[in-house]
Every structure is written in structure tokens, then in C-alpha cells.
Amino acid sequence: MENDLTRRQFVMGTTAVVTGVGATLTMPRPARAASSTELPPLPYPDNGLDPYISSNTLSFHYGKHHKAYVDTTNKLIEGTPLAGQPLEKIVASAADSPEKAPLFNAAAQVWNHSFYWKSMRPKGGGAPTGPLAPKIDAAFGGYDAFKKAFSEAALSQFGSGWVWLIASADKLQILKTSNADTPIAHNLKPLLTIDVWEHAYYLDYQNRRADYVNAWLDHLVNWEFAAENLVRT
């Protein structure tokens, strides 16, 4: 596999031990057809994220881009031993294989987008409460410091990609990945993610990625989903 520094970059705050968090990812798998990967339903109505992400953006992002990744994945696995396999297995099988790069790009984007939709909720955003709050404080020195680090990561990601809050070993960290790359290809445990591909925000914000990132953090981020991922083993 190519050097990790060409595919991913950590952005670390002041880190501290996060008890009970391992590096191995085990995510629940949605039910899917026996021979294909499916487009999962959105966890809210298509206007549920208004006015921060419009139904127009969702109609293209989910209905066109995400669906296209699903369709491409199914086309590439049809008639192969990967047909009907869990999406995570498809991603892992293609991650270290240059000849399977088209499959990795499609399958990883299916997984990333499915995770992204759950990383948001109507009336979300702001500082976390509950079990994640002290973890954020310990790892980054407070929510404001986390927000600054996360925003800087999102704004400095050149071109297309993703920014993640992950639990790696005993630490919370911020991770940037380019294009379709995903933490599950590196045996890392994602808690939430923001999509910084232009198609995620351009219809609403044009080139103002900073406005999109601020709106996402202040009004959309789903800390309950992140907390659920934190305690999963």
C-alpha cells in the first residue's frame, strides 16, 4: 500500500487516555440484499437539515452521488466472490490492491457516505454533552480547541476528502483522508465525519467551505451518534 502520509494525515490536539476504547473497528451492519450492496435510507427527511444543508443538495448528494457509488460497487462485484459480502469486507479486500482501486473508491465511498448521513441530525451541533464531553476536553483541551482543530483540518484538506473524529488506541484524534480513503481501511475506529468534497456543499455555499464547516459544527453534528460509536467494541 502506498505510504500512509500520501493517503491520510493526523491532526492531533493535546491527547489523553480514553479508557475502554480499542483500535479495532466493529460497526453494526445494516441489512442488505443477498447479492448486492444497498443504498441505505436517510435517517431524516430530505429537508430535515434545512437551512444548513438544503433538500436540493441532498437530492444530488444522496440521490445521485451516493447512489452512483452503490451502483458502481454492485457492478464491480457482480459475479465475483465478493457479491453478497458485507460492505466492510468489500472495502478491506480492495484497500491494498492497486488493481482493485476502482472497487475501493466506489465501496469506500458507499461506506463513508452512509456514515456521514448518521454523523448529522436536525437540531444538532454545538458542544457535546454526556460521555463524550470529558473525552473531548481531555484530548483537545476543551470544545473550542477541538472545534478550531477540526475546522482547520477541514479547511486545509486539499481537494476532495473527509475529516474524521476517531478513537485510535487510547486517544481521540482528528484524521484527514483524501478522496475515498476511510479509517476502516486502516483498522481505525471513526466516531463521526464531515464530507469536504465540493458536491457536499457547493449548491448551498459555493466555494465557502468555511461557512459549511461552521454550520456543520454549530447546527448539524450528531454527538449522540459519535458517543454510540465510542462505546462500541
Q: What is the pLDDT of residues 178-231, one digit of tens each?
A: 999 999 999 999 999 999 999 999 999 999 999 999 999 999 999 999 999 998
Contact between 174 and 153 (Cβ < 8 Å)? yes
pLDDT digits (tens, 9 = 90+) for 155-176: 999 999 999 999 987 789 999 9
pLDDT given for residue 168 in this prediction: 81
Q: Report the C-alpha gap between 19 and 169 in whole angstroms.
A: 9
Question: Of the candidates 219, 213, 222, which has an alpha carbon nearest to the alpha carbon of residue 190?
Answer: 222
**Would you state the cell numbers that stand for residue 169, as one nine-digit string?**
488506541
pLDDT > 70: percent of the chain: 85
Report the mean per-residue pLDDT for the chain: 87
Contact between 69 and 108 (Cβ < 8 Å)? no
Q: Given this chain, do its domains 4-23+123-231 and 55-118 carry the same CATH topology? A: no
Q: CATH homologous superfamily of domain 4-23+123-231?
A: Iron/manganese superoxide dismutase, C-terminal domain (3.55.40.20)
pLDDT given for residue 68 in this prediction: 98
Alpha-helical segments (H) within the chain: 55-60, 67-77, 87-95, 101-118, 132-140, 143-156, 202-205, 209-215, 223-231
Predicted model pTM:
0.86
* Domain locations in the chain as residue ranges: 4-23+123-231, 55-118
pLDDT given for residue 221 in this prediction: 98
pLDDT given for residue 3 in this prediction: 41
Domain with residues 55-118, CATH architecture? Orthogonal Bundle (1.10)
